[in-house]
Amino acid sequence: MKYFLYARKSTDVEDKQVLSIEAQLVELHSLAKRDKLEIVEEFIEKRSAKTPGRPIFEEMLSRIERGDARGVVCWKIDRLSRNPVDSGRISWLLQRGVIQQIQTHDRTYLPQDNVLIMSVEFGMANEYIRQLSVNAARGLRQKARNGHYPSIAPIGYLNDPRTKTIVADRKKSKIVRAAFELYAQNGSRLEDISRFLFEHGVHTRPTKRWSDSGSRPLKKDQAKLILTNSFYYGHFRYAGEMYEGKHTPIIAKELFDKVQKSFGVAWQGAKVKEKSAGTLRSAQMRGVRLLHHGRSADEEKRPLVYILSLHKETRRVFATIRPRGNARYATLRVAIEIPLAARVGGGIRSYGYERRG
């Protein structure tokens, strides 16, 4: 009978005590030689089994169903699956005789065996990974309460593997601080900040999917994420909560607040036109805050705002703004935060606008 050898090790903490891929291969080949099992091919996968969809595992099962092999050799049964979907498939293939034998280092699984034993072992593997996820999440929340950000350090900081804390990057922290100071002067756009960071060595990094995407200027959204990240003045948000960090702040809270103010200019009585139910309506808004991409426009030159769409849950409106009398500010796509409470009724009132006249 022909066998497939399957070796897997996850990069997650679930496999912290499991043998390495190389160690599994040595042990399994020794087992196959001892029991005279014919290994026709090896399938090696470095991926977690807590969710379905492992490509190498799927390929192995497809080939077993085609009849390329009738047995599987693996270190332990939890190497094959830690989720109920894949566990059910393996059990069903074994019961039908499509898989005639699963051989691990300590036991043999056959079609005529009591299915309860395998079901219990698969269930224990699944419960282990579930509890591991719960315990890991609890540990991360506690780490946040202790003032340590439980994730990857933002630009300007480094993760210290020795102390498992976040420390300031001596070089890039100064560049990030200079970027805050530059934007606080109200004379720069997000594109200018991206260019400034790029000229000083802060750029995108290649990813696994896009290996050629590195060493490029940050996008405007990425630059804005830096300028709106409270981590730089000593606080951070994690799992929806704000925590006071124990890391060294790069900037003062006053500088951070000044930058946030430069992102928006409050306009009183801005002229608004909205297309609603096939008709064009006009209204006056009170307490409207326009979030734009850079310089503050002259308050005397009220902008015309054309509503494009409204997100009712977050109460953010995406619109196009054309400031009057300023050719430099052509058409900007902005977001409008409406602080007024939602009003009952149709048309503009239901969006929180207050109509005048």
pLDDT of residue 137: 87
pLDDT of residue 187: 77
What is the average pLDDT score of the chain?
76
Whether residue 5 is predicted with pLDDT greater than 90 in this model: the reply is yes
Whether 254 and 272 share a structural domain:
no
Whether 249 and 311 share a structural domain:
no
pLDDT of residue 109: 95
Nearest to 304 by CA among 287, 276, 325, 286: 325
CATH of residue 162: 3.90.1750.20
Whether 26 and 68 share a structural domain:
yes
Structure tokens at 50: 């807590």
Whether 258 and 268 share a structural domain:
no
Domain membership of residue 151 (yes or no) is no
Decide if 75 contacts 28 (C-beta within 8 A). yes
Q: Which residue has the higher pLDDT, 289 or 101?
A: 101
- Residue range(s) defining the domain that contains residue 172: 157-262
Whether 315 and 231 share a structural domain:
no
Whether 227 and 312 share a structural domain:
no
Whether 167 and 187 share a structural domain:
yes
CATH of residue 121: 3.40.50.1390
Predicted confidence band at 193 (pLDDT cuts at 50, 70, 90)?
A: very high
Q: Region 33-59: what's the mean pLDDT?
A: 94
Q: What are the tens digits of pLDDT across the range 129-171?
A: 888 888 888 899 999 999 999 999 999 999 999 998 999 999 9
The count of structural domains within the chain is 3
Which residues are paired to 236 by β-bridges? 243
Domain membership of residue 357 (yes or no) is no
Decide if 220 contacts 191 (C-beta within 8 A). yes
Whether residue 113 is predicted with pLDDT greater than 70 in this model: the reply is yes
Domain membership of residue 220 (yes or no) is yes
How far CA 317 is from CA of 275, 312, 314, in Å, comes to 13, 8, 9
Predicted confidence band at 284 (pLDDT cuts at 50, 70, 90)?
A: very low
Whether residue 283 is predicted with pLDDT greater than 50 in this model: the reply is no
pLDDT of residue 84: 94
